[in-house]
């Protein structure tokens, strides 16, 4: 039996991943999250040990470490899926709070988990899987700044860590999902409507953008592909350094343009 520590296990994608891993019978999963009712549900699954943890608090992560130590002294994998989103202009509303909060959870929280559990990964000759997003490599879109910059930071963190840990023989793998229907997509809609109601500068523009954003969010990628990708990244003898899954077609088309071309599309399209 292998051991993995999985953050974001109480989220839309996390629940699907840890449930699938539970079924394989190959893994004991330390399923980390805050939501107590989801943690209770997860407890009913075989090979799942739910742990309440706030990844922004070192004390909370240290407590989780102590719990894990009562089961095993080594880990075969850490999977970082905890993450928040926000939709806001960078120059209005609660944008600074959003930037701070998203960096705290999406980036610093990930770094804290990997730092705290690293010795167990080293002893177990394990691997680290970090969840980025298509927003971490695609040309940045307007009004998703806090999320995008956090995911670009996840990419930079991941790649720097990978090149550091290659000297120690520990693979560091990033997953770059497109859009999947979870709490995160609902949150985007919620924050979008909030931005529309509070904006001074962008009301007309945001209302013009809404149908395209809704179309992108409604792509309804099949999350089973994402789950299979995570299992592949976990179990493959020679994992790839990154896995892209469910990439948005419309957004991918923008990648074909030079930067000035992307600006021109945004300007023309939503004028
Ligand atoms: N869904 C998508 O379309 C999509 C696309 C690209 C990338 N991703 C990435 O995939 C990952 C999972 O997203 P999801 O769609 O499953 O979102 P979700 O349903 O909103 O789940 C988010 C998870 O993060 C956890 N979390 C948030 N703050 C935390 C904190 N301070 N401490 C510990 N855990 C915390 C939540 O735990 P609690 O609820 O228990 O607090 C929850 O388990 C995220 O990193 C996200 O950026 C998602």
> Has this prediction a pTM greater than 0.95?
yes
Share of the chain above pLDDT 70, in %: 100
Range of 174's domain? 2-269
Q: How many domains does the chain have?
A: 1
Residue closest via CA to ligand 1's atom 10 equals: 81
The answer on pLDDT for 253 being more than 80 is yes
| pLDDT score for 212 | 84
Mean pLDDT of 169-186: 95
What pLDDT does residue 195 have? 94
Query: Which CATH number belongs to the domain containing residue 20 in this structure?
Result: 3.40.50.720
Q: Is 12 in the pocket of ligand 1 (CB under 6 A)?
A: yes
pLDDT of residue 185: 87
The answer on pLDDT for 269 being more than 90 is no
Given a cut of 90, whether residue 104 has pLDDT beyond it is yes
Task: Give the pLDDT confidence score for residue 183 in this predicted structure.
Answer: 92
- Tens-place pLDDT, residues 78-90: 999 999 999 999 9
3 state SS of 176: strand
Instruction: For residue 86, report the distance from its CA to the centre of ligand 1, in Å.
Output: 12
Pocket test for ligand 1, best of 78, 134, 184 (most atoms within 8 A of CB): 184
**Phi and psi of 137, rounded to 5°?**
-130, -20
> pLDDT tens, 215-239?
887 878 999 999 999 999 999 999 9
pLDDT in tens, 23-66: 999 999 999 999 999 999 999 999 999 999 999 999 999 999 99
For residue 214, pLDDT beyond 90? no
Mean pLDDT of 82-104: 96
Task: Return the percent helix, strand and coil in the chain, to nearest 5.
Answer: 55, 15, 30
Share the mean pLDDT of the chain: 96
Distance 134 CA to ligand 1 centre (A): 15
What are the structure tokens assigned to 163, written together? 């090149």
- DSSP string across 76-122: SEEEE-------B-TTSTTHHHHHHHHIIIIIIIHHHHHHHHHHHHH
Give me 249's structure tokens. Answer: 């077609």
Assign 113 a pLDDT band (cuts: 50, 70, 90).
very high
The whole-number pLDDT of residue 66 equals: 98
* CA–CA distance, 136 with 94 (Å, rounded to integer): 22
| Residue 71 CA to ligand 1 centre (angstroms) | 26
Beta strand pairing call for 48-52 and 242-245: unpaired
Distance 201 CA to ligand 1 centre (A): 30
């Amino acid at each position: 039996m292998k051991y993995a520590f999985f953050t974001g296990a109480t989220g839309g994608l996390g629940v699907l991943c840890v449930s699938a891993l539970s079924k394989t019978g190959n893994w004991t999963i330390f399923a980390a999250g805050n939501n107590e009712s989801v943690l209770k549900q997860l407890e009913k699954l075989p090979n799942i040990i739910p742990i309440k943890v706030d990844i922004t608090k070192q004390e909370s992560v240290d407590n989780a470490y102590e719990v894990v130590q009562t089961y095993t002294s080594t880990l075969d994998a850490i999977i970082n899926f905890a993450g928040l989103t926000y939709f806001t202009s960078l120059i209005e509303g609660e944008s600074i709070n959003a930037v701070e909060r998203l960096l705290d959870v999406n980036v610093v929280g990930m770094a804290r988990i990997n730092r705290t559990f690293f010795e167990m990964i080293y002893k177990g000759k394990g691997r680290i899987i970090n969840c980025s997003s298509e927003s971490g490599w695609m040309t940045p879109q307007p009004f998703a700044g806090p999320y995008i910059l956090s995911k670009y930071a996840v990419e930079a963190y991941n790649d720097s860590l990978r090149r550091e840990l290659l000297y120690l023989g520990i693979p560091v793998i990033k997953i770059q999902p497109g859009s999947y229907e979870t709490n995160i997509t609902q949150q985007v809609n919620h924050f979008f409507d909030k931005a529309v109601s509070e904006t001074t500068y962008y009301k007309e523009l945001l209302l013009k953008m809404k149908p395209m954003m809704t179309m992108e969010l409604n792509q309804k990628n099949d999350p089973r592909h994402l789950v299979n990708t995570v299992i592949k990244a976990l179990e493959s003898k020679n994992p790839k350094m990154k896995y892209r899954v469910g990439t948005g077609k419309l957004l991918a088309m923008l990648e074909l343009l030079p930067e000035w071309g992307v600006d021109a599309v945004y300007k023309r399209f939503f004028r």
